[in-house]
Amino acid sequence: MIRVLLLTSFVSALVALSCVPAIFYLESMGRPQNPFHMIQLLACLVCFPCSGFFFWMSRGLGWTATRIFTALACLLSGAWFGFFVYVMVMMAVLGA
């Protein structure tokens, strides 16, 4: 179970990070970035709970590189969700 959570966290974090240069490239070319935004959203939806659950399940193992990675993945994907919610609320408030 822990290995599956770790593998899922690694893969989803890499997918979310690899979408960033693609979004920048498509934005500079003037093309729509919607598919990459949706892929990044889904990857963060998977990464946040998997990395958090792995971090919780491995709490007695000490601070290893994998635990540090999963803690950072959990914090960064959580911050990404916080920013996403902030943008959606501001768009609703401002009527965009």
**Do 67 and 5 touch, CB atoms closer than 8 A?**
no
pLDDT digits (tens), the chain, 96 positions:
888 988 999 999 999 999 999 999 999 999 999 999 999 999 999 999 999 999 899 888 888 898 999 999 999 999 998 998 999 999 999 886
The range of the structural domain enclosing residue 38 comes to 2-94
Total count of domains within the chain? 1
Contact in structure between 95 and 39 (CB atoms under 8 Å):
no
